[in-house]
Amino acid sequence: MSQHASMREITLHVNGEARTCTVADRSNLADFLRHDLQLTGTHVGCEHGVCGACTVLVDGRSVRGCLMLAVQADGCSVETVESLAAGTQGAAGLGPLQQAFRDRHALQCGYCTPGILMSLTELLRDDPAPDEQAVRLVLSGHLCRCTGYQNIVAAALQAASKPAGDA
């Protein structure tokens, strides 16, 4: 980091825990989460906000962590993929959406998965019973080079307690 980088102290709630850190004004949220807070579940892909791999929830809404500065999250609540398993009793400590991904084989390499999980978490909070079209609309903001998205859709509908045949 340059000696000329301006630093600022920020306080935010990350996965329910208050965190106060000093961060460079130009540091993006994804890098801050990964490097400063060691929350490496947030992935950085294209660094242009196109792929969706860096998606996290800020005050309950999905944002691209590569496009938001960490200082912009000062005073906000941030949820990362690590928050999804907190306090769950599913297989291997997985949250319901993660368990559905496991059950439906909805990932391959897994690089895009954390961002997809966060966007689907927002969808399922806003609409606990989305239809396939709503799930596909959310997924249209994510790039996955490994899957055909069908198993991801099936997993989202399973997590929403939709019958498997509806996918």
Alpha-carbon separation of residue 99 from 34, 111, 126, 147, 163 (angstroms) = 24, 17, 20, 18, 16
Q: What is the mean pLDDT of the chain?
A: 91
Q: Do domains 7-81 and 89-161 have the same CATH topology?
A: no
Q: Which of 62, 72, 61 is nearest to 29 (CA)?
A: 72
The structure's pTM equals 0.90
- Top CATH class of 7-81 equals alpha beta
Sheet bearing 61-64, strands edge to edge: 17-24, 7-14, 77-79, 55-58, 61-64
Q: What is the mean pLDDT of residues 87-94?
A: 65
Name the pLDDT band for 161 (thresholds 50, 70, 90).
Answer: confident
Domain ranges, ordered by start, for the chain: 7-81, 89-161
For domain 89-161, the CATH class is mainly alpha
pLDDT digits (tens, 9 = 90+) for 16-65: 999 999 999 999 999 999 999 999 999 999 999 999 999 999 999 999 99
